[in-house]
Amino acid sequence: MSDQKRKKTSIGGQAVIEGVMMRGVDRSAMAVRRESGEIVVEQWEHKASSSVWYKRTPLIRGIFNFVDQMISGYKCIMRSAELSGMDLEEEPSPFEQKLEKLFGEHLMKVLYGVASVLGVLLAVGLFMILPTAISKGVNFLAGGAIANAGLSLLEGGIKIAVFVSYMALVRRMPEMYRMFSYHGAEHKTIACYEAGEELTVENVRRHIRFHPRCGTSFLLIVLVISILVFSVVTWQNGILRVVLKLLLLPVVVSISYEIIKLAGRYDNLVTRIISKPGLWLQRLTTVEPDDSMIEVAIASMKPVIPKEEGVDNW
């Protein structure tokens, strides 16, 4: 099928532990392979983004959809750990037993809250505080000779270097390597559906594992846009700079969201240039899946395909 006739779907997904989650127009599904080899599929309905004004209004919808997908994605990862049997591999440690006794049925909610806070702190530390501190340190060693524009470019370069290095290191972990393989299966399955082909292992296997609407591409666009937006933020006070960057983060996410939507909807010279760095970076965050992983991705995809043709057009 030619690029002009190729379907552009709004269906997206993410890799989870031993599985894939797909999010359709108004229904999501997650397929996970248990240790026994069985594929278990869970489905749930959700409100369509177009049904809520702040999720369909340009330059506003980005931040709301991003937060919603982050929360949903983390819950799916936690649930997939349970379904895959990961939490049954070994006996709880004495510390884990104390936590379970202390929080009871609310333990997972507590762990979710703690993990979310730690995740935010790690992101702020790696991509805001660390690049600013290094840039100011370099400027100090240079006797303050670096102009603000130069400092902003240096800070942006450090952000991208940290991001790429982090992905490369994470990829070396066996568990993450398998998740990146399921990530590849997710992309290939969506590509097969967009090509109008029947969702079979043989058909899916032929498709490329890179996709312009991938979350990896989105994060890279966020980093690039942040360089431009944060260039206007003062360098006089490091703490004030980090605070102002946090306040401007919704703006950065919203602009990046609109760019990734355009890159996923259209295929021309401009969108190909925009998509190219993200597609290259997906060589780190996706791995060619085996047939068993493709089976799981197909199982998660089929329940979210709308019965009415065209409803999921991007």
Nearest to 34, CA basis, from 80, 76, 77: 80
> Are 189 and 295 within 8 A, CB to CB?
no
Predicted TM-score (pTM) of this structure: 0.87
d(Cα 14, Cα 78) in Å, to the nearest integer?
13
**Residue 199: per-residue pLDDT:** 97
Phi-psi region of 31 (alpha: psi -120 to 50; beta: other; left: phi over 0): beta
- Rounded-to-integer distance, Cα 124 and Cα 130, Å: 8
Residue whose token pair is 């609407």: 213
pLDDT value of residue 244: 94
Is the Cα dihedral 130, 133, 136, 140 positive or negative?
A: negative
The span from the CA of 184 to the CA of 60, in Å, is 30
Predicted pLDDT of residue 2: 45
Which regions in the chain score pLDDT beneath 50?
1-4, 89
User: How many Å is the Cα radius of gyration of the chain?
Assistant: 21
Distance CA 138, CA 101 (A): 50
**How far, in Å, are 9, 57, 278, 282 from residue 216 at the CA level?**
18, 23, 6, 7
Q: Please state, in angstroms and rounded to a whole number, the distance separating the CA atoms of residues 108 and 114.
A: 10
At 285 the pLDDT is 96
Of 191, 166, 177, residue with least CA distance to 15: 177
* Residue given tokens 């890799």 in the structure block: 15
d(CA 311, CA 159): 38
Tell me what pLDDT residue 92 has.
64
* pLDDT for the residue 18: 97
Segments making up each domain of the chain, as ranges: 12-88+107-304
